[in-house]
Structure 1
Amino acid sequence: MSTGLRRRRLRLTKAWDRYVHRDRDSRTDELPEDLRPEIVASWERSADAVSPDVAEAPLADPEDTEKTWETTPLRTAVTRIEEDLRRAAEDGDLVVAVTDPSARILWTYGSRVMRRRAERVNFVPGGRWDEASVGTNALDLALRLDDVATVYSAEHFSSCVHGWVCWAAPVHDPVTGRQLGVLDLSTTWDRTHPMGTATAAAFARLLEQALPAERTAGRTAERTLPAAGDSGSVASRPAPRGVLELRLLGRAEARLDGGRLPLTRRQVEILALLALHPEGLSLDALHAQLYGDRSVSRATLKAEISHLRAVLGGGISSRPYRLEMPVRCDAGEVLECLREGRLVDAATAYHGDLLAGTDAPGLAEFGAYLTVALREALLATPDPEAVLRYAAAAPHDVEVLERAVRALGDTPHAAGPLLRARLRTATGA
């Protein structure tokens, strides 16, 4: 492992050296194939903003940094899990950092060795680790990608941290989905570990769970939620916020007022089942549709719903479980369009299988029903434009394509050539 790390570091260092010393037009020539696209893109941005020889991060105004730390809800969250963060730093010889949404460090704790290294490059409160200040790094990349990011050794644009490996994960407000900052774990390059990304992500989720129940920075304070499984009164729960948008076809995504919700796949499945059953589901019915005959406790499902209720600002009622807020769902839209005979709109809204690969019986059944309903409608009325849009999500459905091409015959139509091209591609002809 040590030999492999040295070889990887040497290969990256050579690639970085070639990149920074070439002129603009030939920078990306001869870069290693395994150099990730997000790193190359970041190098390109960094090269126009900062010197690769920068020795340390610039420091923000100390008073402003302190004021931000005093007012951010992250301070309470860090305090609540600080013992775990410190223990991780000591046991793993790490420096742990928490930033604001602009990658300015607000809090750090490091082991004895990493603390000294961090101080030398201003990896300390007030240090500005945005890309424009220090180039490619995991903190900025995690915020840009809104996902866990790893930057290893010479993947960093600035040579002052070529001896580091960093794992960073964004921290979101569970209510609004807004980025609050990032949680970063850093150590020396030779101590890299495959569990680094998972550990950073886990600590980021712990921070989200440890956020104060009342957060007043820029929004209305939230009141305490009822316990999992408790219906509670309307007065005891915060009012639901905005419109919930669920994308279930092709890829899974949940948004609240336009902001992406940081949910697990299972949590999106729960919201999908509730959206597809607006009349509500009992605990037993929801459990059966979600888990089937798998031995998952009711308490696990209640805990998931409790988390979702907090994320949605109280937008889920109990007995039965039901969404108490406006919902837009692409699967529901397809079904509504089919009922109204709007084939082109239905095909446009269809982006693929419903939560492909789901093991939730209720969703697998509904997904199959929706796909069959759309296919049967297109086979019965092979509108060229509708079939063409459907083919964008289902390019290998030869039967539907053949039906549309036969229906067109020699009739001129703008979609004709594209449909025939789709059919030839699907059949390999």
Structure 2
Amino acid sequence: MSSPWSRPAVSPENSGLLIARAHDELLAGNEDRRLSDVRPLVQESWRRSLASLVGPEGLPTLDLASEELEAYRRAHPLAGVMDMIRALLLPGSAEDSGVVVAVGDAAGRLLWVEGDRQIRARTGDMGFIAGANWSEDVVGTSAPGTALTLDRSVQIRGAEHFNRLVQPWSCTAAPVHDPETRRLLGMIDVTGGPEAVTPQAQLLVDATARAIESEILVGRLRAQQDPPPRRPRRSPGTRALLRILGRDRALLEVSGESGETVVELGARHAEILLLLAVHREGMSAEALSEAVYGHPATETLRPEMVRLRKVLEPLAPALVPASRPYRLPEGLETDAQQMVSLLDRGAHRVALAAYRGPVLPDSVAPGVAEVRESVRQALREALIEEAGIDVLLAYADTVDGREDAEVLRLCLGMLPARSPKRAGLVSRIERLEQD
């Protein structure tokens, strides 16, 4: 089946220039100037974005990390209609459809992002990925967030986006409701070029939302006639995150039914928890002591494990390591693993913003040094192979990138011939070569 997405006959460039000027005036504090060139719906959304202190070039927050995302979307009411959404909005080959289709929850968090491979790579750079929060009070005016705010279908064209990073794109989104209670379940969004904001696009997205609601109702009626066996409900477990990027002393953040607790760990305890988080299958006492001390030192390791258990027992009993082998009973996420997950999803700009620096930079533990280098290489290689020039230039200004001649030369080759940034790069390259 051919793609339903076709470009409009009229080019929006002239209108986009006027809207962009109005956006600049608004950010400069001149609210009354040029706003007549902007649709009232967009004007009101821009004002809400300002009131929410949304940054004009900010990035969305990553609210759902990889494992949490998988569990959450499996249980979401829209999981059962994803095949219908794909059939209606991405017929034929989704990989070259010309658009990206996103499905999110009522809070604006994207749960599925599918469609054209090249567009996904480019939109991922601004954080348009599964797990990211695209509500209006986080990223400003956009079809997904504004549709949820207004509880109606919305089209946002290019320069109408509040966030400048999103302005190369256009999008159409519609909310999806529970067919019985009319409670908001989430939204569906189509993002791409001008073809994503035609009148036909809005009709198609609206029709898909209504079809989804009907399918949910039909599914419930079938379930009532032939109810599946009930599974025992699991109580929410403990969530733990170990922050180790750019930190000499790690932070352990633990959240559960009783709230959230943050504790700063000693250097040795941070090293042990990091290694057990990376080696989820567990480590023998010999392997863990070599990774921590650089040589077999099980007699030194054992009392350290006793002290670590005493720290964890009142804070997070579910994280107390088991023995033989040493292993964490529940998964412990690290901010380094989350950053690598962002790279895997194509969110290079968000990943770079999340990279606060090397993993436990003062640690000399061999196992930690191995993790540190692995994370550094993952970031560097992903940016070299896939990132745009703006992200690569930002990486070139980090501790890891500022003396990387290969990165600097790649930036130089990607910049236009008359770019004022070229002179500085040439100077930096020459200085590195002299040294």
Q: TM-score range by the shorter chain?
A: 0.3 to 0.5
Relative contact order, CA 8 A, sep 6+: which one is greater? 2
Task: Return the TM-score normalized by structure 2.
Answer: 0.46
Computing the radius of gyration over CA atoms, which structure comes out larger, 1 or 2? 1
TM-score by length of 1: 0.46
